[in-house]
Amino acid sequence: MLPISYFLIVSAIVFCIGVYGVMTLRSGIMIMMCVELMINSANVNLVAFSSHFGQMNGQVFALFCIALAAAEAAIGFAILMSIFRSNKNINIDNLNILRW
Amino acid sequence: MVNDVTNIAYLIVALPVLAFVLTLAFGKKLPSGGGYIPILAIALSCIISVMAFLQIRETGMPIEISSHWFAVLNVGIFIDPLASVMLLMVSFVSLLIHIYAIGYMAHDPAKPRYFAETALFTAAMLGVVLADNILQFFVAWELVGLCSYLLIGFWNHKPTAAAAGKKAFLTTRVGDVLFMAGIVILFFNMREHVLPHLSGQEDVYLLQFKTIFEHLGMIPSEQLTLITLLFFGGAVGKSGQFPLHVWLPDAMEGPTTVSALIHAATMVTAGVYLVARTFPMFIAAPDSLMVVAYVGGFTALFASTMGLVMNDIKRVLAFSTISQLGYMMLGLGMGAVIGAEAVGFAMFHLINHAFFKACLFLCAGSVIHSTGTNDLREMGGLFSKMKITGITMLFASLALAGIGIPFLKILGTPIGTSGFVSKDAIIVEGTYVFAHLSHNWIPFAFGIIAALLTAIYTFRLWFMAFTGKPRQERHPHESPFTMTGVLSVLAIFAMVFGMLTFLPFLEFVGHTYDHEEIHHLAGLGEYDIIDHHELHHIVGEANPIIFLLPVVVGVGGLLLAWVIYNRRWISVASIGNWKNPIFAVIARRYYQHEIFIELIALKFTYGVLALTAEFIDRRIVDGIIDAISDFFVAGADIVKKVQTGVVQNYATATVAGVALLGLILSFLSITGVI
């Protein structure tokens, strides 16, 4: 059995990739995908701890997270669709109308 | 019987107020602009005043009603002998002038407004007289000032009238502010020194005259001097004493009836009444009383010199009024030696003056009504056309000049016009006794010289208007009966009122204040005042010249006026030209305009005070506020740049924040703090 730290390190790497992507990428779709990466890294953590402690709670919770991610993706893509309709692109940098 | 008048005393004020409301509301629909409503109301007030007078005379007790207002203040009515004679005079003169105004104002389209305002004025003036505490007095006093302003500017389409109203309002305001400051200081003193002694008693009203007079001894005397001087400041403003007299001649811009009612007979005497009303306070602060005497005496002299050179008939009378008010103040000031008798003399002159001055003004009104001009130089020879006016005015002039027979006394009453009786009382029994006791002849000299000048300007006016050849083509006619009838009544009063009432009046009003009390209060100020017998003794032993002098100067002035303005043996032009420096100074009214307007108002008040205040306000006060707001606005301009609107920047900030928090937490846990 692999030690739990292996899972945690992979999870942390994936999470950092996701954060980096959210902060730097310009395309809305890529940002959505990075958000999915962050959610899934959390799922990895949940499942890892669940099997480490021999309890099922974490795995059930991971299933909820997947469902939640699906819902989030559906709404997120719908928003991106409407942004595309009005701006003819999905470049997030251009969406700065809420500034001072 | 005893309580009859007490229960209806409030009607004395309430009826004219009702008349004011009714006339204002329905005056347009009634004949004569609703003028009969105030006449009826004031006639009833007058009747109630007579009833009050009779009751006080009979019982010797003042009429008092008082009810709680709030905290330590009350509202109430207080009619003692002093107030009751004022009530009689105010309501009676006001009644006559209202009757006269029916004729005089017959052609004025704004009659309802006129009658409403005069009714309100009468109510306010009666309110001043009836007040039983200084605060209520002040409220009515201010209402009187308001009505005066409204009525001076009655013909508000005339710019001069509007300006005169404003001038009167602002000038009297100076006095009123002083008066109010006096009331405030009095209140604090009463609260500080008197209230502790009254704890546990019911109905403690600090500003009630009764309470004040009973506890004067507890107020420090220097405070009392300050308070009375401030009160006198109010009186100076209202009664046109030097240096706040400047508004009164200009106030003649109003209708002549207003001049007669407000600026000759009633309102201007409010200041004298204030000093008489608070006389116990003044007697306990004799230094203030000397100020009253000197200001009064100086005003009497100062104003009569200007009366000599005015060509506007009403302005001559206006300066005469100022001068006579000065006499009253002088008489009150003599209270420093003769005690409460002074109130009697001053009030006696006040009442007599009200009659003859109202008569003079209404005669002037009759002349103006008929000739259409105010200028004495355009009149002349009116006597043949206006016999009643001429005769009544002659009588009133004799009274003003104080013509009478010296030495002759029937039943202790001097024989002469009312002005003679009362002015002599002030000059001989006031200023002479003062001079006798203190060897200070200045007040006496003021009185005598002013009497001479009074006689000259009075008969100058009469001779210029009624004798000689008509100097302008006009068709004067006698005035209607409502006017001449009133003139006749007033002229009779001017002639005989003084003689008929001399002794009873002094007896009655002289007992307004308890003489023992006054002696005690005078002791507080460390002054000795003489009593009744001593006064008679000094007057009895006086040199006959003292008695002769007032009459001699009166008759002398009359003859001088006759020589110059009737016979014209001395050319008027040789005296009254601009090369004569004395004439020039007086005719320019002692450069009052230059001093008051150019120097004080424009140079000092505007140029120095107002501009400095403006600089401080705009540059310093506003500048600080502006700088503070500019600082924050500029700061916000910089800080607001953080809000870029780009979502990723916010995400970055959030991540950075969380990372920082994590770092701090781990640092703390490593070092073992948590």
What values do phi and psi take at B471, rounded to 5? -95, 0
List of residues 6+ apart from B668 with CB closer than 8 A: B674
Check A22 against B644: CB less than 8 A apart: no
In 10 A of CB A2, how many CB atoms?
Answer: 7
Check A96 against B643: CB less than 8 A apart: no
Summarised one tens digit per residue, pLDDT across range B562-616 is 877 777 777 666 666 667 777 777 777 777 777 777 777 778 888 888 899 999 9
| CA contacts within 13 A on the Cβ side of B395 | 24
* Higher-scoring residue by pLDDT: B599, B446: B446
Residue A24 Cα, gap to closest chain B Cα (Å): 7
Q: Provide mean pLDDT across the span B104-118.
A: 82
Which domains are present in chain A?
4-94 (1.10.287.3510)
- The Cα B448–Cα B456 span in angstroms is 13
Whole-number Cα distances in Å, B126 to B82, B93, B130, B245, B270: 13, 12, 6, 23, 10
Q: Provide mean pLDDT across the span B93-106.
A: 83
pLDDT at residue B524, as a whole number: 64
Residue A19 Cα, gap to closest chain B Cα (Å): 8
pLDDT at residue B514, as a whole number: 75
Summarised one tens digit per residue, pLDDT across range B317-340 is 888 888 888 888 888 888 878 777
Percent of chain A with pLDDT over 70: 99
Pairing type for strands B73-79 and B63-70 reads: antiparallel
Check A22 against B641: CB less than 8 A apart: no
Summarised one tens digit per residue, pLDDT across range B402-421 is 887 777 676 667 777 888 88
* Closest residue of chain A to B655, computed from CA coordinates: A19
* Higher-scoring residue by pLDDT: B15, B476: B15
pLDDT at residue B528, as a whole number: 67
Check A96 against B646: CB less than 8 A apart: yes
The two structure tokens encoding residue B220: 């420090």
Check B645 against A24: CB less than 8 A apart: no
Check A97 against B651: CB less than 8 A apart: no
Summarised one tens digit per residue, pLDDT across range B502-551 is 777 877 887 777 777 777 777 665 566 777 777 777 777 777 777 777 78
Summarised one tens digit per residue, pLDDT across range B183-197 is 999 888 888 887 777
pLDDT at residue B1, as a whole number: 43
Helices B387-401 and B481-510: crossing angle in degrees, nearest 10, is 20
Strand partners, B208: B133
Residue A3 Cα, gap to closest chain B Cα (Å): 24
pLDDT at residue A41, as a whole number: 95
Q: In terms of pTM, does the model score above 0.80?
A: no
Q: Provide mean pLDDT across the span B654-672.
A: 92
Does B442 score more than 80 pLDDT? Answer: yes
- The Cα B299–Cα B301 span in angstroms is 5
N-terminal to C-terminal alpha carbon distance within chain B: 96
Residue B665 Cα, gap to closest chain A Cα (Å): 19
* Closest residue of chain B to A26, computed from CA coordinates: B648
Check A23 against B646: CB less than 8 A apart: no
Give percent helix, percent strand, percent coil of chain A, each to the nearest 5. Answer: 80, 0, 15
Taking contacts as CB-CB distances below 8 angstroms, the residues of chain B near A96 are 644-646
Check B645 against A23: CB less than 8 A apart: no
Summarised one tens digit per residue, pLDDT across range B351-397 is 888 888 888 888 888 888 777 777 777 777 777 778 888 888 888 88
Q: Provide mean pLDDT across the span B102-128.
A: 85
Residue B640 Cα, gap to closest chain A Cα (Å): 6
Q: A87-91, B93-97, B199-203: which range is least confident on average? A: B199-203
Taking contacts as CB-CB distances below 8 angstroms, the residues of chain B near A100 are 640-641, 643, 645
Residue B628 Cα, gap to closest chain A Cα (Å): 23
Instruction: Identify which of A19, A92, A96 has the shortest CB distance to residue B644.
Output: A96
B658 vs A: CB within 8 A: no
Q: Provide mean pLDDT across the span A21-26.
A: 89
Taking contacts as CB-CB distances below 8 angstroms, the residues of chain A near B655 are 19, 23
Summarised one tens digit per residue, pLDDT across range B285-310 is 888 888 888 898 888 888 888 888 88
Residues 627-656 (B) with a CB less than 8 A from some CB of A: 640-641, 643-648, 651-652, 655
